[in-house]
Structure 1
């Protein structure tokens, strides 16, 4: 099992410095999505006082030539703060700041999917759309080998690992518990976590949030998970199929059920559009036929058993791959279910 060299540094020495007072100054770590649509980058700035809201934060900038985002000689891009979280690594009053990326001409970068998503969600704000999301991931060594697996082989077949306990079935709980606490401290709306079907595969859930904020919380949750894994010398991958063979991949009012059924009917007629929107690789990770069912875990859209019984609640869209951008997935649902669009392309509204 290969771990990073940084994980072997003496963390006790670091704490000597982390406990020093910092006066009135505050560190803010700006976080953004790179040109792949999947990777995250960050840089830290010093402010004279603790920011109370997004509006009080300055814009940042960065050289986009190393993040697959620059266009020719125009390498500088702008970081516009979008959401604020407490920093679980440097502690309060320091902050984590999720940012949107804009080009030199002030147009959103191609992977700034939050910008359009928020605009579309604002169009239907009177309907108060809520979204939650389930995120699966796999813990790996720096050599790409699953944590806890034999160096030259596979573990036993599916069966005993899902929601398991015990050293022969559960791999990486220390990382997960540390990560969970860090999310709670930061204010990330994490709703739960559990071991998944494949050994070293885990999942967490972001609880339902109104409007754009679910995507904000999920992206910051990704960032925190990566940073916690750094301390342990590990890697968290969101690859939808990180392990070959048949090992599990990584997927996600009264009488309100009639509205769910209407939404599913709309989704069934727009399957190709949603396949593309829910997969950063254009559908290659996640192409499968549309299906809907009560309590079926293999269906594209699942109506939970309690919703089927109570005739109200929510439905689960299981099309998004583990690597999808939540802003793209939620925007697609708005386009189809609330704006009643049809066809394989989203309608282009005038701003």
Structure 2
């Protein structure tokens, strides 16, 4: 992410009524990737993918699409709310739907719900009920109309957050007066990889083989270099429709890999928007018949991994003299390097090797414009004496609630001893 700009006013998570001209994602949107060969299904190739059924004027799928596109608004005030939560692995998204009597503008208007936690690895079978608390709402790009997506977190019937509920602790940190006063901004760069279904090999790669070396694929165009653009573009528009603060997208260094950026976001909003955007991406790849992976190193060898670089700034960092505040934050981050690494995503050791634009997982480092460091500071930040820092350590499968709140805690609430601070400053050549 090139720079952190002012955050949108949407961060309060309120929903406005959808435009009457807006339409949900349907299979019509996939016309550019639909394969037609005399109405016969073409075999899966390394460079193309298809929707699961061929569309024809009188086909069952065409009649089904008509029902999916029904606008029920003239006939009922009821809406469909898709309740979304994080499953037992800490990275899987689950969801189910319920009817709500009328359109809503705020999650407080929605009822709590429950699910079977024994089926998601979050509760024992003999006491399996887990309660969903609605926390943020977004417009539903799949159903359209006044229908919504609802980001929830999970609690026991007694009201205690379950272990996989990382949002609860993040909300506590972001509600601390010291954190609120510093208005923490985040810009998160979510990388992901698209895989061919069945073979689980990157999109655009010969099955069981390899493409040419990295170099031509980053931000590229062309059928021999760019694989999955329709998915990236569909996701981009769907996020804008939903009210997610998505700020850009691009093809990544490894073929079949993409990135999108969310932010600037304030506080807990960053995690809500990333999880909503991940859910939408899962649904789009489901429709396209492509597998999404957030594995930080999906292909071993001389290929880039997938990260989730997190750009971060506070009010003091953005004001005059902010570079000194940034350096103090870097000092604190260096002293808690192991704590951050342990919370920055499973399998991250396969990615943070010191190669492919990463720092070594065991060594903390920082630098100006250096993508091989743990923390990168931009040239403009150095020049202007204020700005933001980029934490390049988080893996693509990190939990954004954990990463964003840990950055705020380490830089705003945690205080090292004077001895540790002096030693770290000397080691990092920091003058604070």
TM-score normalised by the shorter chain: which range applies?
over 0.9
Q: Secondary structure at the match of 1:8?
A: coil
Specify which of 122, 135, 157 is matched with residue 69 of structure 1. 122
- Any stretches of 5+ residues in structure 2 without a counterpart? 1-43, 56-60, 310-318, 353-360, 418-432
Equivalent position of 1:331 in the other structure: 405
Equivalent position of 1:171 in the other structure: 227
Separation in structure 2 between the aligned mates of residue 283 and residue 100 of structure 1, nearest angstrom = 29
Separation in structure 1 between the aligned mates of residue 216 and residue 247 of structure 2, nearest angstrom = 24
Q: Does 1:296 align with 2:351?
A: no
Q: Does 1:137 align with 2:192?
A: yes
Cα deviation, residue 31, structure 1? 0.3
**TM-score w.r.t. length of structure 2:** 0.76
Q: Secondary structure at the match of 2:226?
A: coil
- Any stretches of 5+ residues in structure 1 without a counterpart? 344-351
CA deviation map 1:99-150 (0-9, x unaligned): 0111233211111101010111111212211112110000012221111100
CA deviation map 1:201-225 (0-9, x unaligned): 0000011111100110000000000
Asked if the contact 1:336/1:342 (under 8 Å) is kept, the reply is no
Equivalent position of 1:264 in the other structure: 330
Q: Secondary structure at the match of 2:52?
A: helix
Separation in structure 1 between the aligned mates of residue 416 and residue 113 of structure 2, nearest angstrom = 39
Cα deviation, residue 278, structure 1? 1.3
How do 1:1-351 and structure 2 match up within 5 A? 1=44, 7-8=52-53, 10=55, 12-22=62-72, 23-123=76-176, 124-143=179-198, 144-251=200-307, 252=309, 253-280=319-346, 286=352, 287-342=361-416
Cα deviation, residue 283, structure 1? 6.3
CA deviation map 1:5-35 (0-9, x unaligned): 9722645333311332322110000000001
Separation in structure 2 between the aligned mates of residue 182 and residue 56 of structure 1, nearest angstrom = 24
Asked if the contact 1:257/1:308 (under 8 Å) is kept, the reply is yes
Q: Secondary structure at the match of 1:240?
A: coil
User: Residues 111 and 284 from structure 1, CA distance in 2 versus in 1: closer, same or farther, beyond 3 angstroms?
Assistant: farther
CA deviation map 1:26-71 (0-9, x unaligned): 0000000001100000000001101121110001100111111013
Cα deviation, residue 255, structure 1? 2.3
Superposed CA RMSD in Å reads: 1.9
**TM-score w.r.t. length of structure 1:** 0.93
Mean CA deviation greater in 297-306 or 93-102:
297-306
Q: Secondary structure at the match of 2:264?
A: strand
User: Residues 283 and 80 from structure 1, CA distance in 2 versus in 1: closer, same or farther, beyond 3 angstroms?
Assistant: farther
Separation in structure 1 between the aligned mates of residue 62 and residue 231 of structure 2, nearest angstrom = 18
Asked if the contact 1:240/1:250 (under 8 Å) is kept, the reply is yes
Asked if the contact 1:37/1:280 (under 8 Å) is kept, the reply is no
Separation in structure 1 between the aligned mates of residue 122 and residue 331 of structure 2, nearest angstrom = 38
Q: Secondary structure at the match of 2:83?
A: strand
The number of residue pairs the alignment matches comes to: 343
Separation in structure 1 between the aligned mates of residue 161 and residue 50 of structure 2, nearest angstrom = 37
Separation in structure 2 between the aligned mates of residue 283 and residue 125 of structure 1, nearest angstrom = 33
Asked if the contact 2:296/2:347 (under 8 Å) is kept, the reply is no
Separation in structure 1 between the aligned mates of residue 409 and residue 233 of structure 2, nearest angstrom = 37
Mean CA deviation greater in 313-322 or 16-25:
16-25
Q: Secondary structure at the match of 1:293?
A: strand
Equivalent position of 2:11 in the other structure: none
Q: Secondary structure at the match of 2:247?
A: strand
Equivalent position of 2:40 in the other structure: none
